[in-house]
């Protein structure tokens, strides 16, 4: 309420000031004929002085006085007409001033209603943290999040034989609820076909059967399946599982990534950035969470008010380069082939960034494996269809490798 009182008072003061200026300007501004009248009277006095000094004769003085008198009468008529019109224009000016004030106040309130946030409190740091904590405690649970999602359609490419095997596995596990290996297989296969809700349920049974033998990796897998079952949302139940993981293994990358995601979803981009930035620097470049972090961390830094530049992907270390320089040509080629194969396998299973695809195509060209380079180039064109900047980078690498268009 205080905000609206202050805002309205300021708008009224501004409107009153503008109206006062407008009215005062009309009152002080006289007609041009009044100035002419003063000039003509001065001219009459000059004529009388010239006549007394003998500069002009009486005939000329009479003729000049007649002309000046005629002009005085004309100016006086203009003055009388302007005064008569002033009584009618003053109310119009006052009405314009009032209309201008109303327009100013109404327009300001309308703009604020559409562009501002009526009723929203001050967003100081303490208030933001308080709102984020409230959001975190009152957010929907796992069951509610899962219920809000549509039933996922079976992924394309699943053969009828595989679907039949998964169905048989479900029946077997339901008949043997204490079969640990059966639940492990069921969780893996349900996740493979995109049925993450069932996969999370199966992984929950895995943890139940393993008891204290369950590792932090097993628990982190359960948290990951819960998040995917909720469509990428970290529910309070998933958060509790993540806390369990981190209590056993503070360096667990999966738990750290999803903890940062939870902070981002509950209004704490500052903590999300801090968690992801540390994880980005602590993890190897092929860690599965590196790609989603790199895709989101710059936006998170902007939201947190942090100046941040995404580090470039690391290449071979100094130790790798030193070791390669001491190798024979055959061993060096074998090492390069191993690195290329590792990169190729990772891009095929996990995907990667455009520079990584370009690097792989260029490396295959250097090794003389142009057929494989061409196949990777064709695959990359499908992966990055519509991304002109990515396709340009990959096309340059393909041209250098001798497989470009």
Give the Å distances, CA to CA, from 357 to 99, 162, 292, 376: 65, 31, 17, 8
Cβ-Cβ contacts under 8 Å for 148 (sequence gap 6 or more): 140, 231
Q: Residue 292: name the closest of 236, 253, 348 by CA.
A: 253
Could you tell me the pLDDT band of residue 28, with boundaries at 50, 70 and 90?
Answer: very low
Which range has the top average pLDDT, 200-209, 285-294, 360-369? Answer: 200-209
Give 259 or 333, the one with higher predicted confidence. Answer: 259
- pTM for the full predicted model: 0.52
Cα–Cα distance, 355 to 391 (Å, whole number): 10
* pLDDT score recorded for residue 352: 72
pLDDT, tens only, 122-150: 555 677 777 778 888 889 999 999 888 87
Cα–Cα distance, 273 to 260 (Å, whole number): 7
Any idea which residue has 């819960």 for tokens?
226
354-359 LR contacts (CB < 8 Å, sep 24+): 354/380, 354/384, 354/387, 354/389, 354/390, 354/393, 354/394, 355/313, 355/393, 356/313, 357/383, 357/384, 357/390, 357/394, 357/397, 358/393, 358/394, 358/396, 358/397, 359/397
Q: Please, are residues 381 and 394 in contact by the beta-carbon 8 Å criterion?
A: yes
* pLDDT score recorded for residue 392: 83
Q: Residue 131: name the closest of 18, 333, 268, 305 by CA.
A: 268
Cα–Cα distance, 9 to 108 (Å, whole number): 12
* pLDDT score recorded for residue 84: 60
* pLDDT score recorded for residue 399: 84
**pLDDT, mean of residues 227-256:** 94
What is the average pLDDT score of the chain? 79
> For the chain, which domains are there?
2-115 (no CATH), 132-304 (1.25.40.10), 318-400 (no CATH)
pLDDT, tens only, 307-327: 888 775 554 555 555 555 566
On the CB side of 104, how many CA atoms lie within 13 Å of its CA? Answer: 19
């Amino acid at each position: 309420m205080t905000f609206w009182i202050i805002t309205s008072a300021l708008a009224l003061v501004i409107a009153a000031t503008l109206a006062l200026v407008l009215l005062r300007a009309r009152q002080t501004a006289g007609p041009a004929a009044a100035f002419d009248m003063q000039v003509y009277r001065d001219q009459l006095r000059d004529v009388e002085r010239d006549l007394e000094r003998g500069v002009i004769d009486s005939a000329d003085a009479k003729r000049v006085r007649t002309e000046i008198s005629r002009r005085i009468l004309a100016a006086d008529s203009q003055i009388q007409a302007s005064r008569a019109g002033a009584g009618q224009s003053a109310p119009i000016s006052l009405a314009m001033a009032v209309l201008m004030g109303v327009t100013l106040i109404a327009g300001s309130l309308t703009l604020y209603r559409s562009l501002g946030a009526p009723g929203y409190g001050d967003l100081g740091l303490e208030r933001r943290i308080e709102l984020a904590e409230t959001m975190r405690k009152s957010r929907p649970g796992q069951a509610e999040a899962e219920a809000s999602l549509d039933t996922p359609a079976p992924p394309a490419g699943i053969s009828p034989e595989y679907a039949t095997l998964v169905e048989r596995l479900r029946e077997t596990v339901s008949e043997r609820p204490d079969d640990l290996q059966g639940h492990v297989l069921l969780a893996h296969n349900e996740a493979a076909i995109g049925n993450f809700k069932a996969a999370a349920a199966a992984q929950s049974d895995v943890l139940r059967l393993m008891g204290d033998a369950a590792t932090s990796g097993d628990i982190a897998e359960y948290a990951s399946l819960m998040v995917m079952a909720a469509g990428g949302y970290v529910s309070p139940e998933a958060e509790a599982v993540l806390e369990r993981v981190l209590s056993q293994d503070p360096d667990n990358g999966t738990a750290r990534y999803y903890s940062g995601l939870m902070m981002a979803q509950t209004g704490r981009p500052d903590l999300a950035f801090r968690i992801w930035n540390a994880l980005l620097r602590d993890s190897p470049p092929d860690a599965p969470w590196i790609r989603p972090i790199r895709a989101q961390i710059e936006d998170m830094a902007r939201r947190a008010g942090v100046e941040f530049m995404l580090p470039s992907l690391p290449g071979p270390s100094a130790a790798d380069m030193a070791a390669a320089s001491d190798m024979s040509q055959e061993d060096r080629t074998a090492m390069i082939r191993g690195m290329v194969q590792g990169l190729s396998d990772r891009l095929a299973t996990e995907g990667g960034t455009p520079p990584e695809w370009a690097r792989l195509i260029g490396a295959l060209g250097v090794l003389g494996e142009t057929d494989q380079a061409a196949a990777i180039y064709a695959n990359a064109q499908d992966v990055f269809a519509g991304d002109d900047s990515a396709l340009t980078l990959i096309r340059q690498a393909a041209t250098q490798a001798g497989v470009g268009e």
